[in-house]
Each structure stands twice: as C-alpha cells, then as structure tokens.
C-alpha cells in the first residue's frame, strides 16, 4: 500500500473538482448578473401585480402566484449557489469574495420586494387559508404555505421587516463571511510545512501519541493570535440574535431554531435531557480507550486516536468505489444517482490552500443538481465522510421533483440520509474486517462517530446555551469567559475520563455552526438517533425496506417530520424514541468492551 502522502498527490483525487457551469448556463459572472437582473424584473412585476391583493386570490390564482415566486427563487438560488460554491474553493480570491457580496446584496434587494407576500399570507383568516389550500394545484407548495403561517406571532410590520432584511448584509452575513475567511487563512506549522486547519486536525488520528500531542499544541498556538478577533465576531452575532429574538418575541434563544426545525420546545428538551443523561456512555468509552492505549487517562488530543497500532489509509479511487458499491448493493436506483456525482463532476475533493474546511452538500436548486464538497485526507474517516455527504446528495437529488419549496427538509431530518449512508458503509467495512482486532478498530470508529454526532454535539448545544444566556445577562463576554464556558460544557461530557489541556480551551473558536447557524448542533443528535432507528428497521426488513426509504427521501420537505418518519415506520411522538436510539449506541459500546476483553 502506498503512503498517505502519495495518495494525496494522486491525479485522480486532484482532478476531482466541481463543474459549476450548469448553474449559470456556462456564462460565469455574466450569467450571475443576467439571473439577478431577471429575478429583479420579475420581483418588481410580482409586487406590482400582487401587493395588497393576496386576500382576493382564489386557489388557481394563488397557484399561479406561487409558480412565479418559485421561478424567482430559482434564479436567485442559481446565482447564489454559483457565487458561494466558487468562493468556497478559494476564500482568498478577492474577485470571488466580491461576487459573493454582490449576490448577497442584490438577493436581499430582490427578496425585500417580495416580503409583502408572506406577511399578507400570514395575516389571512385561518378559515380562508383552509379553503385555499384544498386546491390540488397548490400541492407543490402546500406544506410550505402552512409552515409560513407558524411564524405569524413573530413577524413584524412590512417596513420593519424590510429594514432588518436590508441590514442583514452589513450584520450577520458580513460577520459570518469574515469569520469564514479568517478561519480559512489559518495555517498550522507542522514539521517543515504550514498546513490548513483541516489537514492538521486529521493528524489527531495518528497512532503516535507524540504526533497527536505536538499537533494539538501547534493547533492551539495557531488559534491563539486571532482569538480575540473571533471572540469579538461571536459576541457581536450572539448579541444581534438576542436583539432579533426580542423584537420578534421569541421566548428563549433556541425558540426560532426549533420553529424552523418544525420541532416543539418540549421534544427538543426531551432530546437534550435524554442525551445528557447518557453522558456515562462516552465516559465509559474514553476509560476503555485509555486502557487500550496503555495510559492512565487520555487527553483531549487522544480522543480520535486509533485504538490499535494500524495506520489504515485509502486512495481516493478505492474510497469512491467502496462507497458506490455499498450504495448500489443497498439499491441499484440509489447507486445510479450517487455515481452521477463523480461522473458529472458534482464533487470537489482535494485539500487546497484557502479552500473552505470540512465537508458539506449544497442542494443548490431543484432545476440544476446538488454539489458535494470534501477535504479528502486518505483516512478511513474520510471514507465515512464521503458516504455521509453523498447521503445528503442522494436526498437532494431524489427530492428535486418536489420543487424549490419542498426539496429541503428541516434540519432535524436533514441528517437522516447522510447518517444512514454512513451506517451502510460502516456495515460493509465491519463485514469485511479480517479479525477481532480489525472489528474492534471499526467499532471504535463507529462509537467515536456517535459520540461526535450525538454526545459532543449536545455538549456544544450546552456551550451555546450558556453563551447565549450569559451574553444576555452579563453583556459582552471576555475571551476568558467564553473559554471557561467551553471547558464547563466539555467537562460535563468528559467527566474524569479525559484530561483537558490548556490549549483546548480555545477550540470552540473555529466551529462555523456557532457563527452561521446558532442552535444548529442539536439537529445532528436528532438526525443521528433518527437515522439509527431507520437503519435498525432496514436490518429487520432487509432489501424490502429500500423502496419505502427512497420514497421518504423523494418526499423532501413536502410533509411534517412526524409524517415523514411514519413512512418508514418511525413514531417521533413516542416518548421513548430517543432512548431507543441511544440504546443502539450503548449496544455498540458493550460489543467493543467484549472484544477488548
């Protein structure tokens, strides 16, 4: 097997880059300008034709109006997707940054002209709304229109909404962009090189503890110089959210996120408490891991260390074929969709200077197709990340016929397909493991994946909760106060099982979700536990399960979460639902403990 370094120089990997031309009909920035001009003209005509007249529409008339809105959103979505994806591949290019800013400013201008529509719709009499929504011509937007009505108590007047929309460009969007650029510029000094943060973080999987320790120290040293700047950005955005929540009469900092996720406050609190009550699971694992690594207690930089002395790496081609073969074995139809991501250049895979870190799937718009971004470092975890993001991609592609209003799901369901796909590939890896040592190594990866997605995300939720509530009570938080809050939330997760080093106090400061999507992180736990339950159904039913599962994905966001989950036999209203998913994680831990013995 060739070295990891050689795998990262593989031309097949380096050539795996997006073709963004379909988003702009091959016209690059000129296509963006044309789309925005067209969207603006349509929006002005729409406002002239419908402002103040929504209450007079019948079902067919409302369907025509919604069809025109869909066209406008499609144009804005294509322009915005092209600019943001192009920027993600090189955040240091001034021209790409300028185009992204232009699109954001013009999109806000266009959307401001359309604000009246949702405000008038939200103000309609409930009886009149029900009369309109029975029209079958509104099937393509019915659930969307119902969801808009849920915001009725939190909407302001049209002039106020326009002011907030216009100012968002100079506030949340600008600060979030600055944070992204600052983090993308971080370079960690390792040996004779300075590498991107993602590449440095991947070295925490190294089997050599000294490599992990020195890497963590180098990451901490890199995070420290700009810490005050990132803390100021975070403070500013947390305060901005508190102002927005107050103006919109949201009762607490997480209320708006729960509303967007179509999840009740009670169900989210039940999830949070169920997971926090099981923090003994990660603590048991870390205690077992210390024994396997031959140390009294692991440090924070040991959490991702392999439990056995093996350095497994994959070429990009091997990883791709493993993932594709697994999807095709589950469902040939799913396999055909996923393969298109590679054959039609919907994937951008190599690590490059100034490329955005992490991995994601961008749905873009239903009239084009989704795109997947990876930062492939040849680790086994990268194989599972590929499977995860292609699960998102499969979901997005199958839901394209639902149209712009119903393609996407709430965040609470957004992780279902990705975690399911990851579970499929993990199952394949476990089946083909050569011996108990290999199986233990895989189980370790799986347990750590669950810890990262369920338990650590809930500790992050706790961190956000403390930051947002303390910022509202105490005013601007100092760097030390934020660091202390991070350690407080992480200490609850780790207990006595993990030593927290001084440098780790700063590691909150590169997490983009805190900046871009406050309150997002609990959706990972929600999605993981839901997906584990869905995967459990698949293990019970076998290949007969695939059609119902693909129907769930194809439904997109056209129904509420409970109705969508019921399509595959899952009852989200069951109070024991969260514990059932957590039981599956604990079952894997017991299996690992048995193998370790």
In this predicted structure, the answer to whether residue 449 has a pLDDT above a threshold of 90 is: no
Q: What is the mean pLDDT of residues 370-398?
A: 95
- In this structure, what is the dihedral angle of CA atoms 358, 364, 370, 371, given to the nearest 10 degrees? -40
Q: Which residues fall within 8 angstroms of residue 379, CB to CB, at 6 or more apart?
A: 4, 202, 205, 312, 313, 314
Cβ contacts of 243 within 8 Å, gap of 6 or more: none
Q: Which domains does the chain have, with CATH numbers?
A: 14-167 (1.20.140.70), 171-330+379-597 (1.10.1370.20)
- From 15, 22, 11, 8, select the one nearest 348 (Cα to Cα): 15
Mean pLDDT of the chain: 93
Q: Write phi, then psi, for 330 (nearest 5 degrees).
A: -70, -50
pLDDT of residue 30: 95
Q: Which residue has the higher pLDDT, 1 or 149?
A: 149
Residue 179, classed as helix, strand or coil, is helix
3-state secondary structure of 555: coil
- Per-residue pLDDT, 23: 97
- Nearest CA-CA partner of 323 in 376, 365, 370: 376
**455: helix, strand or coil:** helix
**Count of alpha carbons within 13 angstroms of residue 324, beta-carbon side:** 14
Q: Are 490 and 436 in contact (CB under 8 A)?
A: no
pLDDT of residue 2: 53
**CA angle in degrees (0–180, nearest 5) for 181-211-304:** 70
Residue 72 has pLDDT above 60, yes or no: yes
By DSSP bridging, strand 498-499 and strand 298-299 are parallel
Kindly compute the dihedral angle of the four CA atoms of residues 82, 86, 88, 89, in this order, to the nearest 10 degrees. 150
Taking the CA atoms of residue 412, residue 417, residue 422 and residue 425 in that order, the dihedral angle to the nearest 10 degrees is: 160
pLDDT in tens, 94-109: 999 999 999 999 999 9
What is the per-residue pLDDT for 309? 66
The 10 Å Cβ neighbour count of residue 209 is 16
Say how far residue 175 (Cα) sits from the centre of its chain. Answer: 19
Q: Tens digit of pLDDT for each residue in 267-284?
A: 899 899 999 999 999 999
Which SS3 state, helix, strand or coil, does residue 408 take?
A: coil
Average the pLDDT over 136-159 and give the result.
Answer: 93
**pLDDT at residue 411, rounded to an integer:** 82
pLDDT at 557: 95
The confidence score (pLDDT) of residue 1 equals 40
The pLDDT-based confidence of 531 (bands split at 50, 70, 90) is confident
Is residue 66 within 8 A of residue 138, CB to CB? The reply is yes
Determine the Cα–Cα distance for residues 148 and 141; give it in Å rounded to an integer.
Answer: 11
- Average pLDDT for residues 349-373, to the nearest whole number? 94
Please check whether residue 557 is in contact with residue 408, taking contact to mean a CB–CB distance below 8 angstroms. yes
Q: Is the pLDDT of residue 543 over 60?
A: yes
Does 45 have pLDDT greater than 60? yes
Q: Could you give the CA distance from residue 502 to residue 348 in angstroms, rounded to a whole number?
A: 36
The share of the chain scoring above pLDDT 70, in percent, equals 99
Which range among 76-90, 151-165, 395-409 shows the weakest confidence by mean pLDDT?
Answer: 151-165
| Proportion of the chain above pLDDT 90, given as a percent | 75
- Rounded mean pLDDT, 254-261: 93
Distance separating alpha carbons of residues 388 and 361, to the nearest angstrom: 9
CA 294 to mean position of chain CA atoms: 35
Dihedral Cα 169, 173, 178, 180, nearest 10 deg: -150
Q: What is the pLDDT of residues 283-336, one digit of tens each?
A: 999 999 999 999 999 999 999 998 876 657 899 999 999 999 999 999 999 999
Closest CA to 326 of 404, 461, 428, 212: 428
Q: How far apart are CA 234 and CA 231, in angstroms?
A: 5
Integer CA distances (angstroms), 390 to 393, 441, 525, 592, in order: 5, 24, 19, 28
Question: Residue 244: which pLDDT band, with cuts at 50, 70 and 90?
Answer: very high
244 within 8 A of 155, measured Cβ to Cβ: no
d(CA 360, CA 370): 10
> pLDDT tens digits, residue range 160-217?
888 888 887 777 888 998 999 999 899 999 988 899 898 899 899 888 999 999 999 9
Model pLDDT for residues 461-502, shown as the tens digit of each residue: 999 999 999 999 999 999 999 999 999 999 999 999 999 999
Torsion-angle region of 193 (φ positive above 0: left; ψ -120 to 50: alpha; else: beta): beta
pLDDT of residue 153: 93
Give the per-residue pLDDT at 202: 87
CA–CA dist 428, 446 (Å, integer): 12
Overall average pLDDT of the 561-578 stretch: 86
Q: At what angle do helices 227-247 and 456-474 cross, to 10 degrees?
A: 70
Report d(CA 342, CA 179) in Å as an integer: 31
Residues 186 and 510 sit within 8 Å (Cβ to Cβ): yes
| More confident site: 173 or 509 | 509
What is the spatial distance between Cα 210 and Cα 200, in angstroms, rounded to a whole number? 14
Buried b (16+ CB within 10 A) or exposed e, 67-85: eebbebbbbbbbbbbbbbb
Q: Which of 263, 513, 282, 549 is nearest to 420 (CA)?
A: 549
pLDDT for the residue 275: 94
> What is the enclosing helix (H) or strand (E) of 371?
strand 371-376
Query: Is residue 438 packed enough to be buried (19+ CB in 10 Å), middle (13-18) or exposed (0-12)?
Result: middle
Average pLDDT score over residue span 73-92: 96
What is the Cβ-side half-sphere exposure of residue 367, based on CA atoms within 13 angstroms? Answer: 17
Predicted TM-score (pTM) above 0.85: no
Distance, CA of 450 to CA of 443 (rounded, Å): 10
């Amino acid at each position: 097997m060739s070295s990891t370094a050689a795998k990262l120089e593989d031309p097949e990997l380096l050539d795996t880059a997006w073709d963004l031309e379909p988003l702009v009909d091959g016209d690059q920035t000129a296509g963006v300008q044309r789309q925005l001009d067209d969207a603006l003209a349509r929006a002005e005509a729409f406002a002239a034709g419908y402002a103040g007249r929504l209450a007079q529409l019948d079902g067919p008339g409302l369907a025509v109006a919604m069809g025109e809105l869909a066209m406008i959103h499609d144009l804005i979505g294509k322009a915005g997707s092209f600019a943001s994806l192009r920027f993600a591949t090189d955040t240091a290019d001034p021209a790409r940054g300028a185009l992204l800013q232009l699109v954001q400013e013009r999109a806000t201008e266009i959307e401001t002209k359309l604000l009246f529509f949702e405000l008038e719709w939200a103000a309609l009499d409930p009886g009149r709304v029900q009369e309109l929504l029975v029209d079958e011509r509104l099937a393509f937007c019915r659930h969307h229109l119902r969801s808009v009505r849920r915001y009725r108590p939190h909407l302001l007047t049209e002039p106020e909404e326009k002011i907030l929309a216009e100012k968002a460009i100079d506030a949340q969007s600008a600060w979030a962009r600055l944070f992204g650029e600052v983090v993308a510029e971080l370079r960690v000094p390792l040996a004779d090189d300075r590498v991107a943060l993602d590449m440095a973080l991947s070295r925490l999987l190294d089997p050599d503890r000294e490599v992990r320790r020195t890497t963590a120290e180098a990451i901490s040293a890199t995070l420290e110089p700009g810490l005050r700047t990132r803390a100021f950005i975070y403070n500013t955005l947390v305060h901005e959210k508190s102002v927005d929540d107050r103006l919109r009469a949201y009762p607490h900092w997480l209320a708006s996120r729960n509303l967007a996720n179509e999840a009740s406050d009670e169900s989210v609190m039940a999830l949070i408490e169920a997971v926090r009550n099981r923090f003994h699971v990660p603590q048991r694992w870390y205690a077992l891991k210390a024994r396997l690594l031959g140390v009294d207690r692991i440090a924070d930089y040991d959490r991702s260390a392999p439990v056995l002395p093996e350095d497994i790496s994959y070429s990009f081609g091997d990883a791709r074929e493993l993932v594709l073969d697994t999807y095709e074995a589950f469902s040939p139809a799913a396999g055909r969709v996923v393969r298109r991501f590679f054959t039609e250049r919907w994937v951008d895979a190599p690590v490059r200077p100034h490329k955005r870190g992490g991995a994601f799937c961008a749905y873009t718009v239903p009239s084009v197709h989704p795109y997947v971004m990876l930062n492939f470092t040849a680790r086994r975890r990268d194989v599972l990340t590929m499977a995860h993001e292609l699960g998102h991609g499969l979901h997005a592609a199958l839901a394209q016929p639902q149209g712009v209003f119903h393609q996407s799901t709430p965040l609470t369901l957004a992780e279902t397909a990705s975690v399911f796909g990851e579970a499929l590939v993990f199952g394949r890896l476990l089946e083909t493991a050569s011996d108990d040592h290999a199986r233990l190594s895989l189980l370790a990866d799986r347990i750590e994946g669950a810890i990262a997605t369920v338990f650590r995300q809930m500790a992050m939720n706790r961190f956000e909760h403390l930051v947002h509530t303390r910022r509202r009570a105490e005013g601007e938080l100092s760097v030390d106060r934020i660091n202390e809050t991070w350690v407080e939330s992480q200490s609850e997760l780790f207990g006595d099982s993990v030593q927290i080093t001084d440098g780790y106090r700063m590691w909150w400061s590169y997490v983009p979700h805190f900046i871009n999507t406050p309150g997002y992180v609990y959706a990972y736990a929600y999605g993981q536990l839901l997906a584990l339950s869905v995967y459990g159904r698949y293990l019970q039913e076998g290949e007969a399960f695939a059609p119902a599962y693909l129907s769930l994905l194809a439904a997109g966001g056209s129904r509420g979460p409970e109705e969508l989950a019921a399509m595959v036999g899952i009852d989200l209203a069951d109070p024991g639902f969260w514990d059932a998913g957590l039981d599956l994680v604990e079952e894997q831990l017991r299996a690992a403990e048995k193998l370790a013995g």
